[in-house]
Amino acid sequence: MPKKFWKMMNKVKNSQQEKRTAELILYGDIGEDDWWDDITSKGFVADLATLGQVDELTIRINSGGGDVFTAQAIYNVLRHYNAHKIAIIDGLAASAATVIAMAADVIKQPKNALMMIHNPWTFAYGEEKDFAQTQALLAKVKNTIIDTYERKTSLSRDEISALMDETKWMNGEEAVALGFADELMEDVDMDVSAKGKTLVLNSISHDLSAVGGVPTQFKNKGDDSMTPEELLAKYPDVYNAVMNVGVEQERERIKNLEDIAIPGSEEFIVKAKFETGISADVAAIEILKNQRQKGTDTFKNMQKDAGALNAITNQAQGTPGNEPSIEDQAAQLLKNAGMYKEVK
């Protein structure tokens, strides 16, 4: 059974106005798990029908888009739904999600919410004629999207096409000015974070890699970076606390390196302390690698110093090819030094 990407809220009766209302929640990718097949379309229509006779349907959208054919189908269903429809852009209506929004009689967008329109795109492979067919299909899809926008806005087809070519991002004010939204709402509280080309709005992830990544309006913002001197001048307590933690961590790192030192590794340990800055666990593996490459008896001396390794070595000497791995030996070395941490 296809996973639903929508949610219908039970109708609420307004006792003062005798108005029967309901909500349709469209959060996340449109058609994220399955194409808009016969089962999915019937499921959406059936859920819509369960609302019964509704005077007003609020469509809440926070979506980075998805399958344009799914969006067009939902758009057509909603256009024919007998109720006054209000679309509210809760955070983002991008790509195919804007098509669904256009089915509303009234579109409301907060100042700090975003709407984005762009050209349809797809992957293609095959012969030259296959690419020509794909190009023709994309042109037809673009025209159907322009039809949808044209019904809502007062823009010409050429103007809409130019905005799509641009991959147009619009805040609330811009969307209203261009006719993609009807009413401007005040800013709403939004939990926003961005990583790479993924935008997270109010716990909903939007993969925007297909449209050039996260817009600058939603890039993570924080206090400007400061030099250590500036940090000391502005936040002396924080600076001192950070420095103290750093000093303690460095002391512990050096002590741990000294604990795993073996004959013949002195030069390597000195470099690890003061030049490379590597940790003791990394150093342990490197020491063992170096000993194997040298082919000397240094590793035997290490076995004598770390007596717990003798049993492992004796077993390995009995059968060629069964020598314990470097990782296992390094783990034992760390255990001997009291620095081994069991992790799952």
Q: Which residue has the tokens 């980075």?
A: 64
Please check the confidence at residue 315 and state whether its pLDDT lies above 60.
no
Average pLDDT rounded to a whole number, residues 22-35: 76
Whole-prediction pTM: 0.56
Phi and psi torsions of 121, nearest 5°: -145, 160
CA-to-CA distance for 174 and 186, rounded, in angstroms? 14
Query: What pLDDT score was predicted for residue 200?
Result: 61
Task: Put residue 64 in one of left, alpha, beta given phi > 0 → left and psi -120 to 50 → alpha.
Answer: alpha
Instruction: Please check whether residue 172 is in contact with residue 112, taking contact to mean a CB–CB distance below 8 angstroms.
Output: yes
Query: What pLDDT score was predicted for residue 54?
Result: 87
Phi and psi torsions of 199, nearest 5°: -110, 130
pLDDT, one tens digit per residue, over 259-300 is 777 777 788 888 888 888 777 777 776 776 676 655 544 444
Delimit the domains of the chain by residue range: 7-218, 228-336
| Nearest-5° Cα angle at 218, 196 to 198 | 30
Give 164's contacts (C-beta < 8 A, 6+ positions apart): 117, 118, 119, 142, 145, 146
Query: What pLDDT score was predicted for residue 110?
Result: 93
Query: What pLDDT score was predicted for residue 330?
Result: 55
Query: What pLDDT score was predicted for residue 299?
Result: 44
Give the confidence band of 40 by pLDDT, cuts at 50, 70, 90. Answer: low
Instruction: Please check whether residue 270 is in contact with residue 257, taking contact to mean a CB–CB distance below 8 angstroms.
Output: no
Helix pair 298-305, 310-318: axis angle to 10 deg: 140
pLDDT, one tens digit per residue, over 58-97 is 999 988 888 888 888 889 888 888 899 999 999 899 999 9
CA-to-CA distance for 36 and 199, rounded, in angstroms? 25
pLDDT above 70 covers a percentage of the chain that reads 59
Q: Residue 261, Cβ neighbours under 10 Å: how many?
A: 19
Instruction: Please check whether residue 214 is in contact with residue 199, taking contact to mean a CB–CB distance below 8 angstroms.
Output: yes
Highest mean pLDDT among 41-55, 236-250, 280-294, 322-336: 41-55
Better pLDDT: 311 or 62: 62
According to CATH, the superfamily of the domain at 7-218 is 2-enoyl-CoA Hydratase; Chain A, domain 1 (3.90.226.10)
Query: What pLDDT score was predicted for residue 116?
Result: 92
In the predicted model, what is the mean pLDDT of the chain? 74
> Worst-scoring range by mean pLDDT, 76-80, 209-213, 228-232, 301-305?
301-305
Average pLDDT rounded to a whole number, residues 218-234: 60
Query: What pLDDT score was predicted for residue 13?
Result: 62
Please check the confidence at residue 338 and state whether its pLDDT lies above 80.
no
